[in-house]
Amino acid sequence: MSTSSGGSLRGLREANRARVLQILQSGPRPQVQIAAEAGVSPATVTSLVRELVDSGQVVVAPGTSSGRRATIVSLATQPPGSFVGVSLRRDGVDVAVWGRDGARFETATWVGLPEPDQPIRERIARFVARLLPEQAIGATVAVPAAVPLARRETIVLPPDYPLAEWLDDDAMVPLEQVLGTAVTEKNDANLAALAELRLGAAQGLSHALYLELSDGVGGAFILNNEIFEGDGGMAGELGHLQGSEHGPRCWCGNRGCLELLVGADALLPGLRALHPGEQITLRTLADDVAAGRDLARRIAVEAGRDAGYGVAPLVQALNLSTVIVGGQLAACGDPLLSSFTETLSHFSTLVGPRVETRLASLGAPAVALGAVVDAAARTGLYSFSELKLG
Ligand SMILES: [Zn+2]
């Protein structure tokens, strides 16, 4: 993940470091040879190797190459370990574990997050630990809130936010203790977008907008093949873009925020007529759309239209030609996506004849998967092609 300045430089450096590690998979070799194989300057390789030695990933030894003295670089013998991704949701916890020695992806759900008293935090920590076959070597926790880069300095949460207590300073301590490694917290939509970028619908795209339509509204900017976090780490908070100047008043102080127009609290009351007395969710809405119920279809079409109107200025300003739509509401499929695409294209005329929209492909596990990808990416010990789902 990057900051706004130097993001692509850092991305390039991470890519080069990963490339060096990949080259060394096929055996030790002189530093000059690595430079030739990686297509980078010897000075760059010297600097990368120094970093990798410092982080314990490679070792160097004096040797010879073509009869001359040379520095031979080889992979350090690494203990086995796993990367861990935890997705803290409003109604449960998903855990993803990826063993370094091979692909393994697991999720489990803790339904009905209770009060965050200490025993519960510890139970969740033990729940995560049970899935771990070996030591954790990196962990990221996804939280459904904006997480500033300067952790908790300016975190702003809605009133009655169900996870507020989970975001206090000590919340991750039990997890860090059982994992034996520091835990990094990041925004869930940014991590879902990272998963889609590396493994899903956004693979191969340099730039795109990721829009997450679930109980709330979130998003992320994919710029230069990375997740753009902004100066403060809060980029992609799309829920409080203005969708209508005459809309209802939001807790954030503005009117007509996108989340108030297309969030679950806005959409589900309209569906109650079909389900008197029943508990309904966005899943119910998607099921009703699939069953061809006209009321549900209209709700989905209007939500798509409002979302398209809300994000069109961003698409236009950044000259993006692709938008990925994820989240539970995306399960409504075509009625939502068609009206979204139509409205988006109508209000972002400078982008081109039509903005391409795609449904996210990874589904519900995307957030936990993005967290595990993030944890692995920070260490440089990864190859996304090796990660298999299922
Ligand atoms: Zn708002």
Task: Please indicate whether residue 337 or residue 1 has the higher confidence score (pLDDT).
Answer: 337
Task: Please indicate whether residue 208 or residue 138 has the higher confidence score (pLDDT).
Answer: 208
Q: How far is the CA of 218 from the centre of ligand 1 (A)?
A: 12
Residue 74's region, left for phi above 0, alpha for psi from -120 to 50, else beta, is beta
β-pair type (183-187, 208-213): unpaired
Q: CB under 8 Å to 154, separation ≥6 — which residues?
A: 148, 232
- Full-prediction pTM beyond 0.85? no
Query: Quick one: CA torsion of 216, 109, 155, 184, rounded to 10 degrees?
Result: -130
CATH 3.30.420.40 placement within the chain: 82-192+366-386, 203-359
Count of other CB atoms within 10 angstroms of residue 112 = 8
Which fold does the domain 82-192+366-386 belong to in CATH?
Answer: Nucleotidyltransferase; domain 5 (3.30.420)
Q: How far is the CA of 372 from the centre of ligand 1 (A)?
A: 30
Q: How far is the CA of 250 from the centre of ligand 1 (A)?
A: 5
pLDDT averaged over every residue in the chain: 83
3-state secondary structure of 137: strand
Q: How far is the CA of 248 from the centre of ligand 1 (A)?
A: 9
CATH 1.10.10.10 placement within the chain: 7-75
Q: How far is the CA of 160 from the centre of ligand 1 (A)?
A: 15
Q: How far is the CA of 358 from the centre of ligand 1 (A)?
A: 26
Q: How far is the CA of 257 from the centre of ligand 1 (A)?
A: 5
Helix (H) / strand (E) element for 336: namely helix 334-347
Q: Which CATH number fits domain 7-75: 1.10.275.10, 1.10.10.10, 3.40.920.10, 3.40.50.10890?
A: 1.10.10.10
Lowest mean pLDDT among 147-161, 196-210, 278-292: 147-161
Q: For a pLDDT cut of 90, what percent of the chain falls above it?
A: 41
3-state secondary structure of 371: helix
Q: How far is the CA of 337 from the centre of ligand 1 (A)?
A: 24
Tokens at 339, concatenated: 């009206």
Q: Which residues surround the ion ligand 1 when the cut-off is CB under 5 Å? A: 240, 250, 252, 254, 257
Q: How far is the CA of 291 from the centre of ligand 1 (A)?
A: 33
pLDDT of residue 155: 58
Which fold does the domain 203-359 belong to in CATH?
Answer: Nucleotidyltransferase; domain 5 (3.30.420)
3-state secondary structure of 180: coil
Lowest mean pLDDT among 72-76, 229-233, 380-384: 380-384
Q: How far is the CA of 172 from the centre of ligand 1 (A)?
A: 28
Q: How far is the CA of 260 from the centre of ligand 1 (A)?
A: 7
- CA nearest 42: which of 34, 53, 50? 34
| pLDDT tens profile 305-357 | 999 999 999 999 999 999 999 999 999 999 999 999 999 998 887 766 678 99
* Average pLDDT estimate for 52-67: 83
Tokens at 259, concatenated: 């989340």
CA distance 210 to 326: 7
pLDDT band at 360 (very low <50, low <70, confident <90, very high): very high
